Amino acid sequence: MTAKRSWTLSVVAIVVFAVVFLIPFAFILLTASKTQQDAAFLQFSWPSHWAFAQNLRAVFEARDYLLIVAFINSTILTVVSVAVVVILAAMGAFVLQRRKSRWTSGLNLVILSGLVIPPAVVPTIWVLQKTGLFKTMPGLILVEIAYAMAFCVLLFQAFVAGIPRELDEAATIDGAGPVSLFFRVVLPLLRPIIVTVVVVQTVFIWNDFASPLYFLPGDENATVQLTLFTFQGQYSNSYNLLFMDILLVTVPPLIMFAAFQRQIVSGMVAGSVKG
């Protein structure tokens, strides 16, 4: 009876996975392979004429190769933002977890509020304008870092709590200072949760649509998500090119998430257990 129930649950899980993930992806792939006339019907059907290569070339050549510029901008934004978030969040979590003081509870409350309070667009634009960072890549990078810090600090705190304090004491006895203690002893032990944070934040920042739209307007500053506007007009839509663009934008984070899925789960579980 147990084996039969387990088999039934497995079949249900596979069916749910196919409905939620595989069918929409198949629809995107098929629509991206159709001509503009066939794609206009938005039907889940086999292409009458395969135009995958033509659509791929058209998407890259659209608006003076805007997609290539967008890929470069999104790569810079994602890599720099994730790298800074990992270092700052790990350092902040280490200090909050190891250096308990009367300010710790208040700081933890401020960090927690970062998950609860919605980001305000208008004040953020005003601050960026006053600092000369509006419509600049560094300004958007700072915004992405600010949005990600609260969640990442909490993840790192849960993992740091499981690292024995005896390691800190032994390193200190050997003459390690605070900076050396963190980078040479603690940071290598955070590798599982670092992989989790890197993958999750990479997917989140790469797929972010609102922040580049508000804080980095302009074609020269376009990110991959904003290129979706290229193939939508007031009177006509090129659905075949739109879905080809969606396919190109979706594939990189999908591959990364699939490749590191096991590390993500192990990092989350390890942090929850050790915390």
Using CA atoms, how far apart are residues 224 and 177, in angstroms rounded to an integer? 43
> What's residue 104's pLDDT?
77
Higher pLDDT, 112 or 245: 245
Give residue limits of the domains in the chain: 66-274
Residue-wise pLDDT for 48-73, tens only, equals 889 999 999 999 998 889 999 999 99
162's CB contacts (< 8 A; 6+ apart) are: 270, 271, 273, 274, 275
Q: Which CATH number fits domain 66-274: 3.40.225.10, 3.30.1360.200, 1.20.5.50, 1.10.3720.10?
A: 1.10.3720.10
Q: What is the pLDDT of residue 158?
A: 87
DSSP 115-131: HHSPPPHHHHHHHHHHT
Q: What integer pLDDT is reported at residue 98 of this predicted model?
A: 82
pTM of the model: 0.84
